[in-house]
Amino acid sequence: MLLYGKPITNRILAETKDIVSRITIRPCLGVVLVGDNPASRIYVNIKRRLAEEVGIDVRLRELRSDASDDDVISVVNAFNADAEVHGILVQMPLPEGHDTERIIASIDPGKDVDGFHPEIIAQFLAGDRDLIPVFPWSIIALAKSAGVPLAGKRGVVIANSDIFGDVVRRALADEGVSTEVILSADVNGSMETISSADVVVTATGQPERFPRYIFKRNAIVIDGGITEFPGGVFGDVAKAGDDAGIFLTPVPGGVGPVTVACLLRRTAMLAM
């Protein structure tokens, strides 16, 4: 069974539009786009279109790929100081050579809609569920859409970094899922663990790394990986093959649109 993101996206956007209609100010999202990555521009345009649909303004600031980190941070700081801007997003990935961590850390934590700021992550890991970053927020929403109780399940997160794994593990723990983090470099030695998990979240960016048949029957598999080639867009899980009756998010059409909806929902909440 495919867990499509559209129904969840539409619900969150409708809720966001309702929030915006009930507050006295118009929420505003400041977006920083660095470089000319075609995929990044597409994603920004999608966010602008959906923001307009729910009543959120978007202020886009574009910089050339050879802009310095200080140039990017200067734009971020301008948004930080602007009381009319309620949320700030630096579109990822940044061009090669930029210090992503430094740039994210320059965002005012009170305006960080993605939830990547180290202060936000620290507070979330310490137990503040309201500060869940939007990517794991979308993962949980999609996992719940399977209609299977999550409490008591055993989960696995396959990630490229410890911090991402820890954040998703915490998000799943808040839903009662006992979760193990496996780094992508260690996947080959962990296939038995992956194959026996009730909930699997993968975000490695390794196209079709996992055949569908390896997962446990009725497992909930959230594919957060995305790789673009001239022939199409691919997730970490193979698009075709025997799936043993799993619940799987498609790529595209799964985690991506739900994440955008969650981001706009957070922007509206920050304006309240």
Catalytic residues: 47, 91, 114
- Residue with structure tokens 């305006």? 111
**What residues contact 77, with CB distance under 8 A and at least 6 apart?**
106
| Nearest-10 crossing angle of helices 134-144, 6-22 | 120
Give burial (CB, 10 Å; 0-12/13-18/19+) of 48. Answer: middle
Among the listed residues 186, 132, 133, the one whose alpha carbon sits nearest the alpha carbon of residue 157: 186
Task: Verify cis geometry, omega within 30 degrees of 0, for the bond prior to 250.
Answer: no
Per-residue burial over 210-239, b if 16 or more Cβ lie within 10 Å, else e, is: bebebbbeebbbbbbbbbeeeeeebbbbbe
Give me the residues paired with residue 199 across strands: 155, 220
Two tokens, residue 24: 């006295």
Q: Which long-range contacts (CB under 8 A, 24 or more apart) does 106-111 make?
A: 106/73, 106/76, 106/77, 106/80, 107/76, 107/80, 108/80, 110/270, 111/30, 111/79, 111/80, 111/85, 111/86, 111/87, 111/270
Strands 232-234 and 227-229: antiparallel
